[in-house]
Amino acid sequence: MKRLTNVLVDDKVCPQLQSVLFSIVTACKDISFRVGQGALSGVLGATQDENVQGEQQKKLDVIANQILKDYLAADNNVRSIASEEEDTIVAANETGDYIVGFDPLDGSSNIDINGQIGTIFTIFSAVNQLNADDPAQFQQTGREQVAAGYVLYGSSSVLVLTTGKGTQCFTLDKTFGEFVLTNDAMQVPTETQEFSINMANSRFWFEPIQYYINDLLKGEIGIRKKRYNMRWNAAMVGDVHRVLTRGGIFLYPQDKRDPNKPAKLRLLYEANPMAMLMENAGGKASTGLQPILDVKIDDLHQRVPVIMGSSEEVEQCQFYYNQ
Ligand code: AHG
Ligand code: MN
Ligand code: MN
Ligand code: MN
């Protein structure tokens, strides 16, 4: 049995980055406990507030955000913080070597139904010349992430983490409160017969996705010549976990609903960390036009189309964009 601490030491992760990872993981254990208590811990239901993106905040969005901020601000190695639930960058410690972005609670609509929810995070090196409160700290592409991961609060709580090499999975042993290594090298199967998309948006899709999904739906009699199943959790963290575990393709493409919102998912703290985990597990992650990890970022809450999963399937989908 290998604990997270030992894995990070064996993988030669520097002590400063280990500390940042421990701050995040400790916060997530706290969140995991409250999620597990459900209605008993008073975390269900909505607040009267909206975040900067116009989404109604659930109580747990706000609580998880505060827990993560508290642990990270107390860590001297953290210079700046960016969160889905914060309007702008939060300065932590002027001398910290790392900056951290997070979606404190992904899958907010699942909170009250006892569905899958999770925390997604990304870590970059701080830019020395910039102050802790300068949003330009986060003007780095996903390729520059030094670590990324998520904690899924499902039937068990799992941490999926990459510090650059492979993608590892840890399970929270609630008997002694530590994450234990349960998969040393996650590998996404190259082929799949499962796709994950919100079909209710189909009338708003652009042609490449219309044609691609239509061809999947034709099954054995279509050009793909195999039958596909569809799965949708309404939580990226749950849908991507399934794809990382057993293959599949997860899509949240650009659509025509609102010209000011080119897509739904956010590059910094949703798409980038998931793309790094996916690539380091042998999968692919694309906007349809380019790898997610190469997208230039201009805004902390910038949105990006997401197509990720089994490499052969993502390549097939990209083919529709190239036509
Ligand atoms: P969040 O709860 O952090 O705002 O993210 C919600 C996102 C993502 O988790 C999920 O894949 C997607 O929204 C669900 O969208 P639909 O409402 O279209 O199902
Ligand atoms: Mn939200
Ligand atoms: Mn989210
Ligand atoms: Mn969220």
Atom number in ligand 1 closest to CA 252: 11
Provide residues with CB under 6 Å of ligand 1.
Answer: 55, 84, 103, 106-108, 198, 234-236, 252, 264
Share of the chain above pLDDT 70, in %: 100
Question: What H or E segment, with its residue span, contains residue 90?
Answer: strand 90-91
Contacts (Cβ under 8 Å, ≥6 apart) of 75: 19, 20, 23, 92, 93, 96
315 pLDDT higher than 90: yes
- Across the range 46-73, mean pLDDT stands at 96
Known binding residue 207? Answer is no
198 pLDDT higher than 90: yes
Contacts (Cβ under 8 Å, ≥6 apart) of 138: 80, 82, 89, 99, 101, 124, 268, 297, 300
CA of 57 to the centre of ligand 1 (A): 13
pLDDT tens figures, 77-122: 999 999 999 999 999 999 999 999 999 999 999 999 999 999 999 9
Atom number in ligand 1 closest to CA 264: 13
pLDDT score at 200:
97
44 bridge partner residues: none
Report the C-alpha gap between 51 and 53 in whole angstroms. 5
- State the DSSP code for 55: P
Ligand 3 is an ion; its neighbours by CB within 5 Å are 103, 106
Report the C-alpha gap between 235 and 196 in whole angstroms. 11
Average pLDDT across the chain, whole number? 97
Q: Identify the residue whose tokens are 């089994």.
A: 310
CA of 265 to the centre of ligand 4 (A): 10
Atom number in ligand 1 closest to CA 265: 7
Per-residue CA distances from 239 to 74, 231, 308 (Å): 32, 8, 11
User: What three-state secondary structure class fits 212?
Assistant: helix
Which ligand is nearest the CA of 200, by number? 1
Q: What are the percentages of helix, strand and coil residues in the chain, rounded to 5?
A: 35, 25, 35
Q: Identify the residue whose tokens are 């955000």.
A: 65
Which two structure tokens, joined as six digits, stand for 130? Answer: 């910039």
CA of 55 to the centre of ligand 2 (A): 6
Report the C-alpha gap between 118 and 105 in whole angstroms. 5
What φ, ψ does residue 170 adopt, rounded to 5°? -120, 145
Per-residue CA distances from 116 to 46, 124, 154, 223 (Å): 17, 27, 5, 34
Share of the chain above pLDDT 90, in %: 97
pLDDT score at 260:
83
Which ligand is nearest the CA of 55, by number? 2
pLDDT score at 261:
82
Question: Where do the domains of the chain lie, and which CATH numbers do they carry?
Answer: 4-183 (3.30.540.10), 194-322 (3.40.190.80)
pLDDT tens figures, 120-171: 999 999 999 999 999 999 999 999 999 999 999 999 999 999 999 999 999 9
Which two structure tokens, joined as six digits, stand for 308? Answer: 């990720």
Instruction: Out of 35-44, 132-141, 204-213, 241-250, pick the least confident.
Output: 35-44
323 pLDDT higher than 90: no
Q: From 84, 249, 264, give the residue whose CB has the most ligand 1 atoms within 8 Å, as the site to mutate.
A: 264
Q: What ipTM describes this predicted complex?
A: 0.97
Known binding residue 265? Answer is no
pLDDT score at 262:
79
- Across the range 244-259, mean pLDDT stands at 96
User: pTM for this structure?
Assistant: 0.98
Least Cα distance to 233 among 284, 194, 278 occurs for 194
- Across the range 207-216, mean pLDDT stands at 97
Least Cα distance to 87 among 58, 120, 45, 57 occurs for 57
pLDDT tens figures, 264-303: 999 999 999 999 999 999 999 999 999 999 999 999 999 9
- State the DSSP code for 236: H
pLDDT band for position 259 (cuts 50, 70, 90): confident
Known binding residue 84? Answer is yes
pLDDT score at 104:
98
204 pLDDT higher than 90: yes
CB count in 10 Å sphere of residue 80: 27
